[in-house]
Amino acid sequence: MTNFADLGLAEVLLRALAQENYTTPTPIQAQAIPALLQGRDLLGIAQTGTGKTAAFALPILQRLLDDRRRPAPNTTRALVLAPTRELAAQIADSFRAYAQFARMSVGVIVGGVAHGPQIRMLAGGLDVLVATPGRLLDHIGAGHLRLETTRTIVLDEADHMLDLGFVVPIRKIVSRLPKERQNLFFSATMPKEISTLADDMLRDPVTVRVTPAATTAERVAQRVILVDGSAKRDVLLDLFSDPSFSRAIVFTRTKRGADRVAQHLAANAVGASAIHGNKSQNQRQRALEDFRAGRTRALVATDIAARGIDIDGVSHVVNFELPETPEAYVHRIGRTARAGATGAAVSLCDNSERPLLKQIERVTRQTLEVTDRRTASGSAAEADAPRRPPHEHRRTHQEPGRVTRHAGKPGEHARPPQQQQRRPGNPGGRRPEHSAPRSRVSD
């Protein structure tokens, strides 16, 4: 089986990988790294959890090492664009972890924080810059960053960039790059606008497609509680009376809803904090750290805020409200099934949300176990009677023609599951995920 040394990586990188306990390249790494080392463009159709960050970070670092030169002031040798602040920070952490013995300068530019330190950082020149598009454009416009010498560009989670309205900013950024460059393009899905962008950017790319071994929906035990809207908070407290709800992410549809639910939990002795777009970066960070460290049992989040969250050992996902789209549902429940783990998800569904539930069942091709806890009824048929255990309905959901390179399978990496999920250089720090409403709040 291929190992990292066979892929042609330098000893300084191999040493860092050993330190991170990476023994075997994941399928996307095995396929992408050799092509990228040759300087090819790449189209990676892959979700988070497949090891895609290392798939691009390692060859980029290797090529920077092969051509050692100091970056000029106000330039970066490689640029990675990411949709959210949290993802940008996590990608930079990965670069730093892999480059820990290689003396590379790695910087992050995101919105929501002061400009001054970023301007000073850019003035020094960087080997690798990871950025969200909005703030990056501000710096380019103000003359703090020039891209004429940037030879490598990575677009990560391009479909989320589209969701967040970043396609135009990305095109502006790309137009500043030199013609001679290496383009890496990653997206979990390829909606039309994204495939057009990919076509415009990529030259004769190698395409690597990786799908997880089992879909998230198959790996998460899911159930639904039908409940009156006004009783949701009580039902939520009931759920937390079960000690197995040791680390739960509770999703709400609105920021205010997130605050209210977090306050309600906290007022009833369930440690909780809220994370959403109106919170400062520091507040978000603190909420995440408290949750990661087990100081709070519940993290109450909106979909967009939750994109940057990638935390090990989430016991449950609770949908306090169902999301607007089935895709968002799949991404939410995926929080409890990181890196091949299994998890549990509970959705509180009131009458007005029944159509959303139907849609979720249709798209995920499963019938969810439903318990009826409504007081005013007319629902005897479903009362407390699971319609059918969900596992009987779980089905592999494979699009026709999709190449199945299994990745993210439990046990596929040599590390024990707990460790597998750890983000390098950022213990417990985790990644964002997919689709959310089309609004731009992350940058």
Q: Mark out the alpha helices in 337-389 (DSSP H runs).
A: 354-364
Nearer to ligand AMP (CB atom), residue 4 or residue 320: 4
Tell the smallest beta-carbon distance from residue 408 to ligand AMP (Å).
7
The nearer residue to ligand AMP, 22 or 95, going by C-beta atoms, is 22
Pick the stretch among 46-54, 174-182, 257-265, 379-387 that binds ligand AMP (CB under 6 A): 46-54
Q: Among 423, 432, 434, 436, which residue sits at the site for ligand AMP (rule: CB under 6 A)? A: 423
Residue 415 near ligand AMP by CB under 6 A: yes
Instruction: Show the tokens assigned to 69.
Output: 């030169």
Task: Identify any residues that bridge with 80 across adjacent strands, giving them in sequence order.
Answer: 130, 154
Which CB atom, from 406 or from 415, has the smaller least distance to ligand AMP? 415
Q: Is the dihedral of CA 280, 285, 287, 288 positive or negative?
A: positive
Which of 53, 182, 347, 364 lies at the binding interface for ligand AMP (CB under 6 A)? 53
Q: Which is nearer to ligand AMP, 22 or 245 (CB)?
A: 22
Least distance CB 412 / ligand AMP (angstroms): 9
424 near ligand AMP, rule: CB under 6 A: yes
How many residues touch ligand AMP under the rule CB under 6 A: the total is 21
Least CB distance to ligand AMP at residue 432 (A) = 9
Q: What is the rounded distance in angstroms from the CA atom of residue 126 to the CA atom of residue 124?
A: 7
- List, in sequence order, the alpha helices (H) in 67-132: 85-98, 116-123
Minimum gap (Å) between residue 420 Cβ and ligand AMP: 5
**Binding-residue pattern over the window 326 to 365 for ligand AMP, x denoting contact by CB under 6 A:** -------------x--------------------------
Q: Which stretch binds ligand AMP (CB under 6 A): 18-26, 123-131, 319-327, 378-386?
A: 18-26
- Give the N- to C-terminal CA distance of the chain in Å, as an integer: 41
What is the rounded CA–CA span in Å between residue 443 and residue 169? 12
Stretch that binds ligand AMP, among 114-122, 194-202, 300-308, 418-426 (CB under 6 A): 418-426
**For the residues of 167-189, what is the DSSP string, one character each?**
HHHHHHHHHTS-SS-EEEEEESS
184 binds ligand AMP (CB under 6 A): no
Cβ of residue 416: shortest distance to ligand AMP, in angstroms? 11
Residue holding tokens 């759920």? 239
- Cα–Cα distance between 233 and 320 in angstroms, integer? 8
Q: Which residues pair with 369 in a beta bridge?
A: 223
> Looking at beta carbons only, is 25 or 323 nearer to ligand AMP?
25
Cβ-based neighbour number of residue 313 at 10 Å: 16
The pair of three-digit structure tokens given for residue 386, joined into one six-digit string: 């699971």
Which of 40, 276, 307, 413 binds ligand AMP (CB under 6 A)? It is 413
Nearer to ligand AMP, 260 or 422 (CB): 422
Does 435 help bind ligand AMP (rule: CB under 6 A)? no
Long-range contacts of 391-398 (CB under 8 A, 24+ apart): 393/365, 393/366, 393/367, 394/217, 394/218, 394/366, 395/218, 395/365, 395/366, 396/214, 396/215, 396/218, 397/215, 397/217, 397/218, 397/364, 397/365, 398/211
Closest CA to 363 of 235, 189, 160, 193: 189
Q: Give start and end residues of each alpha helix (H) in 105-166.
A: 116-123, 133-141, 158-163
The one among 9, 13, 16, 26 contacting ligand AMP by CB under 6 A: 26
The verdict on 84 binding ligand AMP (CB under 6 A) reads no
Where along the sequence are the contacts to ligand AMP (CB under 6 A)?
A: 22, 24-26, 29, 48-54, 339, 413, 415, 420-424, 431
